[in-house]
């Protein structure tokens, strides 16, 4: 039985929800703004569903829409943080998300398992900072206070931890490719 476009759209959105949220949260630090952008991406995608090329990955298409909306958000906001996000940065981030999506199996649970395993490989302090920021949604100031560190030190630790996690996930992804190729 064929499904109507709304049902198919909902299935595709549900499949990509976590990856889209991760993309938005990695570019927009204000949780409420990211939530608004998330909703806007879904609305724009629904309105432009006829423009979607079904031969291409749906997640990449959503991130393309999200990237344009993030740029518009920062231009409208016109703050110092707007200089931190440029189109090239968003394109590189979207490419990285696509690589993650392709590299570690086809479902979100496999990617999440890889990320959680990589988080466990961080040293105790960095693991605690990452968990506080991303799992408990604590602000850098609150984490800095609880760790007796400066805010900039926490930001730098998070930056280094994200780089280490990206490297770890890349290594896991390459190992998965070797295992699948050798099977």
Tens of pLDDT, residues 2-32: 456 777 788 788 888 888 888 898 888 888 9
Q: What is the pLDDT of residue 177?
A: 46
Q: Would you list the domain boundaries of the chain?
A: 1-103, 106-183
Do 1-103 and 106-183 come out as alike in CATH topology? no
> Bigger pLDDT: 58 or 37?
37
Q: Residue 165: CB partners within 8 Å, gap ≥ 6?
A: 115, 118, 119, 122, 130
The CATH number fitting domain 1-103, selected from 1.10.1740, 1.25.40, 1.10.3470, 3.90.380: 1.10.1740
Query: CATH fold of 106-183, please?
Result: Arc Repressor Mutant, subunit A (1.10.10)
Asked if 61 and 52 touch (Cβ cutoff 8 Å), the reply is: yes
Interatomic CA distance for residues 78 and 134, integer angstroms? 26
């Amino acid at each position: 039985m064929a499904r109507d476009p709304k049902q198919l759209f909902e299935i595709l959105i549900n499949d990509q929800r976590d990856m889209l949220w991760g993309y938005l949260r990695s570019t927009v630090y204000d949780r409420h703004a990211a939530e608004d952008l998330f909703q806007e991406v879904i609305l724009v995608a629904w309105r432009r569903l006829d423009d979607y090329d079904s031969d291409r990955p749906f997640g990449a298409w959503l991130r393309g829409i999200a990237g344009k909306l993030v740029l518009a958000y920062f231009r409208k906001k016109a703050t110092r943080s707007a200089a931190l996000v440029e189109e090239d940065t968003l394109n590189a981030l979207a490419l990285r998300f696509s690589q993650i999506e392709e590299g570690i199996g086809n479902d979100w649970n496999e990617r999440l398992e890889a990320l959680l395993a990589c988080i466990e490989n961080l040293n105790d302090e960095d693991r605690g900072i990452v968990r506080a920021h991303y799992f408990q949604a604590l602000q850098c100031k609150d984490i800095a206070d609880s760790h007796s560190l400066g805010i900039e030190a926490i930001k730098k630790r998070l930056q280094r931890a994200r780089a280490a996690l990206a490297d770890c996930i890349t290594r896991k992804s390459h190992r998965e490719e070797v295992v699948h190729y050798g099977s």
